[in-house]
Amino acid sequence: MTEKPDQRTEMTPMPRVELKSELTLFDVTNLVIGAIIGADIYVASAFGAGLLGPFSLVVWVVAGIMAIVIALCFAQCAAMLPKVGGPYAYAHAAWGPFAGFIVGWSLWLAEWLSLAVFPVAFTQYLMFFLPGLNMASQILVKVLFVVFLIATNVVGAKAAGRTNDVLTLIKLAPLVFFAAVGVLYMFSNMAMTAANFSPFLPYGFGSFGEALVLIFWAYAGFEISTIPAEEIKDPSRTIPRAIVIGISIVTVFYLITNIVLFGIRPYSLLAGDNAPLATATNTVLSSIPTLALIGGLIVGGGALFSVAGSDESGMIGTSRLGYALAADGLFPRVFAKIHPRLKTPYLGIIIQAVTALVAAIVGNLGTLIATSVFFMAIAYVATSASIFSLRKKGVKAQFHLIGGWLIPTLGVIFSLYLIMQCTLPQIALGLILLSLGIPIYIKYSPKKEIAELKQALLSRESILDRTYSQEERFLAHALRHIKRFYRRISGKKQTWNKAN
């Protein structure tokens, strides 16, 4: 019987379609801004205030700079592999299928944990309006939130996209309203505002790393820079400039929001507040009860819409990533099963949403965010480091970043720093979840790739090769020391001869 070729590897490529270069600097900058700003600011501000007080403003700037550097690495990889995109594809091209899977699995876990964050955040802001919610009621709210998420995504991408568009338009207005009202309040209460910023560093630097991890989560989404370069006018100039300008605008926006927040309320009160922006708005408008109620509704309601919108976007992306991994044979096939009428990966959506709900019920908000950042940072390290490997392999790019090796080197350093700033329990949880991907890979990946992995790790030849390589490095190191010692002795002998 004739053996059929593997359809995944011998599939006839689709004809190349030239895309119009229509996206301008303004368009791409807006894409970057829109991808980042969301519900994160409503959640992360209270964490920063509790850990560092007003000094957390500095952390927002540092996180913004780190995001710019890592986003530039994503842009460079997109210029090298413009047709595929994403950390999974970059790692696969740089180091092979297993590395690609581990990075794709990390990214899926990061997005999955982010899905679990938003039901918790939604419930916390809802308690601003309904403070008497008991534990059972809070769980019910989380369940209803996830049911809404499943329904809009299973119905179809069009329905999910329209829902997301509406929620995106609504989410920015409350933040602008909060900033405008807050600035006016601060200027009319200068003495109190100044007092709220003193001392500027009340708790010392000890929690800087932990605060950075939680605040950096607010910048997640800058991966939009992986948009195909051929759709952009003058990509070599437009993409890096759009990233720098876009993330800089987001950083300024986050700074203004947090400065207003600290100016209105003492940092000690912000730390334990589940709805800090809504409470601060009430404080500003407290002299006029009707306005205070309206202001709280605008900001608190905006937070609810923003949280829902962020989870809507996250589910669209996560379900499609799971579908892509399953379609490539690296994930359970159930994630690639398409509904016959709705044409959506409905089982994958349901599985991801239900498991995220379980994590939302049993998990701590800070742990969920930090562990999500841990997995994001793994994808960031791989993306930044893959630039070195892809360049070494001779992969050509549509453009190169200014600074040569500096940007990817900083990208690797910043990403590793984020990983190291996670607590030991968070890292342990992350490693356990990461290790669960190995049996998934062994079970579902093509047999050829498993054979290659075993050959690389377990074969006698590869073990001997690694052993001899280590011995060669050891001998080379020893010979260098002997050579240096000989030169030193020879130099001393020549000096002694001249002296005599």
Half-sphere exposure of 330 (CA within 13 A, CB side): 24
155-162 LR contacts (CB < 8 Å, sep 24+): 155/342, 155/344, 156/342, 156/343, 156/344, 157/316, 157/344, 160/312, 160/315, 160/316, 161/316
Q: How does pLDDT run across 133-191, given as a tens digit for each residue? A: 888 888 998 898 888 877 877 775 555 445 555 555 566 778 888 888 888 889 888 88
Structural domain of 473: 462-494
Together in a domain, 472 and 448: no
Q: Give 232's strand partners.
A: 23
pLDDT at 211 over 90: yes
Together in a domain, 352 and 437: yes
Q: What letter represents residue 368's amino acid? A: L
Domain count for the chain: 2
Residue 15 lies in a domain: no
How far CA 385 is from CA of 110, 378, 400, 411, 422, in Å, comes to 19, 11, 15, 8, 21
Residue 6 lies in a domain: no
Among 7-21, 98-112, 152-166, 291-305, the range of highest mean pLDDT: 98-112
Q: How does pLDDT run across 217-246, given as a tens digit for each residue? A: 999 877 655 555 566 777 777 878 888 888
221: left (phi over 0), alpha (psi -120 to 50) or beta: left
Together in a domain, 220 and 301: yes
Residue 445 lies in a domain: yes
Together in a domain, 162 and 295: yes
Distance CA 178, CA 309 (A): 19
Token digits of residue 185? 């309040």
Q: 77-86, 203-212, 218-227, 487-496: which range is least confident on average?
A: 487-496
Are the beta carbons of 445 and 330 closer than 8 angstroms?
yes
Together in a domain, 278 and 365: yes
Together in a domain, 439 and 483: no
Q: What CATH number should be reported for the domain holding residue 91?
A: 1.20.1740.10
Residue 270 lies in a domain: yes
Residue 361 lies in a domain: yes
pLDDT at 497 over 50: yes
The pLDDT mean for the chain works out to: 77
Between 209 and 27, the higher pLDDT residue: 209
> Minimal CA–CA distance to 386: which of 395, 376, 399?
395
